[in-house]
Chains A and B, each alone.
Chain A
Amino acid sequence: MSDDLSLTFSALADPTRRAMLERLAQGPATVTELAEPFRLSLPAISKHLKVLERAGLIERGREAQWRPAQLKAEPLKDVSDWLEQYRKNWEESFDRLEEYIRKIQKENT
């Protein structure tokens, strides 16, 4: 796993941040809008946003007052590719395991 991927995973490790991303999937939102469902303070939400921004998962608008956050796809795509490869490797390992177990069970009967 690359370091960028580790950064993305770290950012995604928190359930609040994941929920924020799911909210942003529906469209850009301001800090106030994002804070609403969580009963968290605005500074706490801002801190989460910074983590997501550092991981490249969101982009912040430039208007100083609102700075709406927007979801970015690329790191998610990397995660999804990595996960796909991981799954594929394991499907192959499971195939080998099945074959191996069949073999030793046959030898034991």
Chain B
Amino acid sequence: MMAAKTTKREIVVNRVIDAPRELVFAAFTEREHIEQWWAPKGSQTHEMEVKPGGIWRYSQPGRGGAQNRFKIKFIEIDSPARLVYDYGTDAEDAPEPVRTTVSFEPENGKTSVTLQLMFATAAEREQAVKYGAIVGAMQALEALADHLARG
């Protein structure tokens, strides 16, 4: 029962973009494109290598003018259908990155883009393969959290 429910709930954000899939995928994976929209104005790329295992480091202005540094590690680049990367802050003591899967589905000449989050568990990380998809449960639990916080 849980499994069936979880699949749908894992979706975090979805947007239908009015452009062909190849172009939208390029917008996510080519430097001259991605720098134009991914982060807010004032952001800066320090290094970027788009290939499995490649790293993209960038900073973007945070509150109070400080630059926040982020690190993306590309895991899978399966043009034009699927992109997988780890997203986290770029610091020595950075906590666990969040694995993100972006899928690109054609839809009547447009492209449906969906982000799903996966979180590595500390224990499973050592095996480096197992990830739990938990966002679904989190979304279900959100309502609960609100309810309990109020009560």
Contacts and interface: CB of A to CB of B under 8 A. Distances in A.
Contacts, number: 132
A48 to B, nearest CB: 12
A87 B17 contact: no
Nearest to B24: A101
A30 B95 CA distance: 33
Interface string B100-132: 000000000000010101011111100000011
Given A76-B145, A80-B142, A1 B88 contact: yes
B134 to A, nearest CB: 5
B37 A1 contact: no
What bracket does the count of chain B residues touching chain A fall in?
35 or more
B137 A80 contact: no
B33 interface: yes
Contacts of B119: 6, 9-10, 12-13
A105 interface: yes
B148 interface: yes
A53 B107 CA distance: 45
Q: Which of A91, A93, A102 has the most CB of B within 10 A?
A: A93
Contact of B13 (A3, A18, A22, A94): A94
Contact of B134 (A1, A13, A96, A101): A13
A90 interface: yes
Contacts of B115: 90
B78 interface: no
The 5 lowest CB-CB distance pairs between A and B, nearest first, are A13-B132, A73-B148, A76-B145, A96-B37, A9-B119
Interface of A: 1-3, 5-7, 9-10, 12-15, 18-19, 21-22, 25, 71-74, 76-77, 79-80, 83, 86-87, 90-94, 96-102, 104-105
10 contacts: A10-B119, A10-B121, A13-B131, A73-B149, A79-B145, A80-B146, A83-B135, A83-B142, A96-B40, A100-B36
Given A6-B95, A77-B149, 11 more contacts: A6-B119, A9-B121, A10-B119, A15-B6, A79-B142, A86-B117, A90-B115, A94-B15, A98-B18, A99-B37, A100-B36
